[in-house]
Amino acid sequence: MHAMRPEAGDAAWELYDLVLADLARRPGTVIGATEVLRPDGVRAPLEAPPLVRLGRLLDPHLCRGD
């Protein structure tokens, strides 16, 4: 499931950029133009909104619980 208010878009992209930069420094992660190869061998496509992309790259429980 994915839901995000429009006004959160800039923050979501900022978080995505920070996470991707961190992942780029980790062994076993290969970042390409259209996908990321994770250390577990899974290829995560990058064509989606930022929080969906993050869910493919990380534990999918990136949410605010209020």
Contact, 46 vs 34, CB < 8 A? yes
pLDDT surpassing 80 at residue 1: no
CA distance 9 to 31: 22
Q: Is residue 47 part of a domain?
A: yes
Q: Is residue 45 part of a domain?
A: yes
Q: Is residue 43 part of a domain?
A: yes
Q: What is the pLDDT of residues 11-41, one digit of tens each?
A: 999 999 999 999 999 999 999 999 999 988 9
Q: Is residue 48 part of a domain?
A: yes
- The DSSP bridge partners found for residue 30 are 37
pLDDT surpassing 60 at residue 64: no
Q: Is residue 36 part of a domain?
A: yes
Q: What is the pLDDT of residues 48-62, one digit of tens each?
A: 999 899 989 986 555
Q: Identify the helix (H) or strand (E) that includes residue 20.
A: helix 9-24
3-state secondary structure of 54: helix
pLDDT for position 3: 81
> Which token pair is 59?
């534990």
pLDDT band for 65, please (50, 70, 90 cuts): low
The structural domain count of the chain equals 1
Q: Which domain holds residue 33?
A: 29-60
Q: Is residue 41 part of a domain?
A: yes
